[in-house]
Amino acid sequence: MSNIINSSGGISIAVQTDITIVEQCNRMIEETIATFGQIDGLVLNAGVSMWARFEDIADIGFFKDLINTNYLGAVNCVHAALPHLKKSNGKIISCSTGQALMGFPSHSGYAASKHALHGFLSTLAIENKREITILEAILGWIRDTNLRGNAFGADGKKHSRPPKKHTKESVGLNNCVERILTAVKKDWRTVYIPRKLRLIPFYKAFWRWYLEYRADRVVKKPAKD
């Protein structure tokens, strides 16, 4: 991606970073400031998932990987970038999930890590409301990524192939990116992709039983090509 940007007339640098290591996150931000002088936006997009019922898991050690990447990795990046974002009145864009707002079968550790991130960003939005803005992209099933194929299984190992195919209700990656960019331009605080996910808070408040029924059914339902 960096080469594409540079070859098309833009300026880009690629800084290899393990976001679970604080020092590497600090270095990434330092190199960015050294090159561009400021930071206007921080995109939190790194993530790792799982696909196993909790009772079937032999070793819960991989839950640490979920927390370290999905939550603490984001915290590391935000902590390093926040002073610079405040100077530029910048924006944090979090590529999150509907599972940050509700429980989801076979994704207990993933949902927990995303709940933590959601709570963290909600708090930051209050603490820094006059200096930065935060956009949370609440995503459903997104095609054309490796997230599902690299999900942890019950044995604690990553799947070599996706445990379940995407349904026709899933959203293509390019479409997802376009809608996030639209939300950034319009200065939204939340964008739901697909839009039906905006009903999660409503169902959770008034028809929790139906929300839980649908979540359980979606996981068990076979995909149709």
Q: Which residues are catalytic?
A: 110
Angle between helices 22-36 and 73-87 (to 10 degrees): 30
Give the separation between CA 225 and CA 221, rounded to whole angstroms: 13
Exposed, middle or buried by CB within 10 Å (0-12, 13-18, 19+), for 169? Answer: exposed
Give the separation between CA 140 and CA 97, rounded to whole angstroms: 6
Q: Comparing C-alpha atoms, which of 1, 33, 6, 27 is closest to residue 15?
A: 27
Give the separation between CA 129 and CA 177, rounded to whole angstroms: 25
Structure tokens at 210: 């139906």
State the alpha helices, DSSP H only, in 128-196: 173-185
Give the separation between CA 94 and CA 75, rounded to whole angstroms: 11
